[in-house]
Amino acid sequence: MEEVQKKRMLSGIKPSGDLTLGSYLGAVKNWAERAEQYDCFYFMADLHAITVRQNPQDLRRRTLEQLAQYIACGLDPEKNTLFVQSHVHQHAELGWVLDCYSMFGELSRMTQFKDKSAKNADNINAGLFTYPALMAADILLYQPDLVPVGEDQKQHVELTHVIARRFNGIYGDVFKIPEPFVPKVGARIMSLTNPTAKMSKSESEDAGSVLLMSPPEVIMKQFKRAITDSDTENCVRYDKENKPGVANLMTIYSAVTGQSYDQIEEEFAGQGYGKFKPVVGEAVVEHLRPIREETQRLLKDKAYLESVYQAGAQKASYVAEKTLRKVYKKVGFLAK
Q: What is the binding site for ligand TYM (CB under 6 A)?
A: 11-14, 22-23, 25-27, 45, 48, 135, 138-139, 147, 149-150, 152-153, 156, 186-189, 198-199
- The catalytic residue among 7, 29, 184, 201 is 201
| Cβ distance to ligand TYM smaller for residue 139 or 305 | 139
326 is catalytic: no
Q: Provide the 3-class DSSP secondary structure of residue 11.
A: strand
| Cβ distance to ligand TYM smaller for residue 2 or 22 | 22
Q: Quick count: other Cβ atoms within 10 Å of Cβ 139?
A: 27
- The catalytic residue among 6, 7, 79, 116 is 116
Chain position whose Cβ is nearest to ligand TYM: 26
| Cβ distance to ligand TYM smaller for residue 59 or 235 | 59
Shortest distance (Å) from residue 146 CB to ligand TYM: 10
Shortest distance (Å) from residue 274 CB to ligand TYM: 25
Q: Is residue 68 within 8 Å of 38, Cβ to Cβ? A: no
| Cβ distance to ligand TYM smaller for residue 139 or 285 | 139
Q: Is residue 39 within 8 Å of 9, Cβ to Cβ? A: yes
Shortest distance (Å) from residue 12 CB to ligand TYM: 4
201 is catalytic: yes
Amino acid symbol at 314: Q
Shortest distance (Å) from residue 189 CB to ligand TYM: 4
73-84 in b/e form (b: 16+ CB < 10 A) is bbbebeebbbbb
336 is catalytic: no
Residue 179 has φ and ψ, to the nearest 5°, of -100, 135
| Cβ distance to ligand TYM smaller for residue 125 or 235 | 125
Please give the Cα distance from 13 to 226 (Å, whole number): 26
- The catalytic residue among 14, 29, 198, 277 is 198
Q: What angle do CA 215, 42, 3 make, to 5 degrees?
A: 130
CA 331 to chain centre: 31
| Order of strands across the sheet that contains 146-148 | 80-84, 39-44, 8-13, 146-148, 179-181
Shortest distance (Å) from residue 48 CB to ligand TYM: 5
- Return the active site residues: 116, 198, 201
